[in-house]
Amino acid sequence: MSNPDVIVVGAGLSGLACARALVQSRLKVMLLEAEAKPGGRVRTDVHEGFLLDRGFQVYLTAYPEGQRILDVEALKLHCFMPGAKVWRGGRLHTVVDPLRQPVTALAHLFGSVGTFWDKLRVLELRQLARSGEEVDVWLRPQRTSRRYLEELGFTEEMVEGFLRPFLAGVFLDRSLMTSSRFLEFVFRMFSSGDAGVPEQGMGAIPEQLAAKLPPGCLRGHAPVAEVWGHRARLADGEMVGAQAVVVAADPPAAARLLPGMPVPMMNAVTCLYFAAPAPPVEGPWLVLNGEGRGVVNNVAMMSEVSPAYAPRGQSLVSVSVLGVSSDGEALRARVCEELKEWFGAGVAEWRHLRTYSLPFALPAQTVEALEPPHRPVRLSPGLYVCGDHRDSASIHGALGSGRRAAEAVLTDLGLYS
């Protein structure tokens, strides 16, 4: 493509959303991506017939930006149960959304994960999170999630046995220093829709967005070395100019390309994948570590959610450990030992497929990070930035920040009002 109107650097979800909005306004866009395929942190690798998402991820159908830009029906979502299995006290307990699974919830009403009053407080939290409009959540007074849960009156048993491991799996923050605004947003999304994965893996989401771009718009294997003014210099020395440049790279890469822009604090996670002859838990369940000890935070039987995740006759198990380790072999051994306690000696038959160590998995959503809740996308006339570090650390935030950047470009070019 010659003489683009806009250069977008990075074909993650925010860059794809930005490019799509600009193309819809009849601008010529050059979307430069360092990797071979689009997606950024939302990618799916095919390994020995298994679909391995780059870290355990889910799509929430209640995301407003997703409803705006994605053809969710075409993704063929397969959904998790609205609840979780919790390993606590030497056995698995079932915790479900009482409004969506009333029969199951009644059967486990007096289970050992939390008290009866804790379960009523979950309903109160759900009601608070769903009150008002989605935009109102980001304007409410902030405190840490830990403080917020204490104020609602949850017992220590409920926090440690269910809420901490569940939220830690979303926030990648076991300390629960994450802002109460983000907690309410997460509860609003989970309670207003389903959590699932596309039939062919999370990578189907960026693939769908990329497929809607015109031929020649997306250039893979095109890492950008430098951005200044309205120009970008590729790693191979090629220079490209345009009326505007949008940096949609991941936070560390964006900071390298935009001197003076600080790298946000990032939360880390390690995801280990195993092939198993049979699922340790039947059904599309998320399994949480409610013991408060050990390295495993959560386990998901991905092939029980979408059978396409594993070859016929095999099961795919995803294990999430918060943080990263310098000794992958030792971590793998420790994970397997812990899970033998959960699921029995059959864990010894599991075969390790791949480990994803993700030090920059998600921007931390601290009280300071979410003030203001939506960070500026316009850096100067002709230079813009987008990504989940400019919004909420979610697929919703990535897509929304890409849309906001496109609107800023169109406004400055006199094409949006």
Domain containing residue 28: CATH number: 3.50.50.60
Q: pLDDT digits over 72-124, tens only?
A: 999 999 999 998 999 999 999 998 775 554 334 333 434 567 888 998 899 89
Q: Is 285 contained in some domain?
A: no
Opening angle at CA 332, ends 329 and 334, nearest 5: 110
pLDDT band, residue 346 (cuts 50/70/90):
very high
- Tell the residue number behind the tokens 């919830």, with chain if given: 105
Under DSSP, is residue 47 helix (H, G, I), strand (E, B) or coil? Answer: strand
Name the domain count of the chain.
Answer: 1
Mean of per-residue pLDDT scores for the chain: 94
**Three-state secondary structure string covering 159-201:** HHHHHHHHHHHHHCCCCCCEEHHHHHHHHHHHHHCCEEEECCC
Q: Is the pLDDT of residue 417 over 90?
A: no
CA-to-CA separations, 46 to 25, 69, 311, in angstroms, rounded: 35, 26, 11
Per-residue DSSP letter, 390:
G
Query: Contact, 248 vs 258, CB < 8 A?
Result: no
Supply 331's token pair.
Answer: 């971590």
Q: Is 24 contained in some domain?
A: yes
Q: How far apart are CA 190 and CA 318, in angstroms?
A: 20
14 is in an annotated binding site: yes
Per-residue DSSP letter, 261:
P
Under DSSP, is residue 313 helix (H, G, I), strand (E, B) or coil? Answer: coil
Angle, helices 145-152 vs 116-130, to 10°: value is 120
Q: pLDDT digits over 351-394, tens only?
A: 999 999 999 999 999 999 999 999 999 999 899 999 999 999 99
Under DSSP, is residue 40 helix (H, G, I), strand (E, B) or coil? Answer: coil
pLDDT band, residue 159 (cuts 50/70/90):
very high
Whole-prediction pTM: 0.95
Percent of the chain residues past pLDDT 90, beyond the cut = 88
Q: How far apart are CA 165 and CA 197, in angstroms?
A: 20
Tell me how far the alpha carbon of residue 242 is from its chain's centroid: 32
Q: Is 231 contained in some domain?
A: yes
Q: Is 408 contained in some domain?
A: yes
Strands 195-198 and 6-9: unpaired
Q: Is 382 contained in some domain?
A: yes
Q: pLDDT digits over 290-311, tens only?
A: 998 999 999 999 999 999 999 9
Q: pLDDT digits over 182-237, tens only?
A: 999 999 999 999 999 999 999 999 999 999 999 999 999 999 999 988 999 999 99
pLDDT value, residue 273: 98
Q: Is 225 contained in some domain?
A: yes
Strands 6-9 and 244-247: parallel
Domain that holds residue 251: 6-43+203-265+367-412
Q: Is 222 contained in some domain?
A: yes
CA-to-CA separations, 276 to 10, 56, 317, 344, in angstroms, rounded: 36, 17, 7, 13
33 is in an annotated binding site: yes
Q: Is 110 contained in some domain?
A: no
End-to-end CA distance of the chain: 28
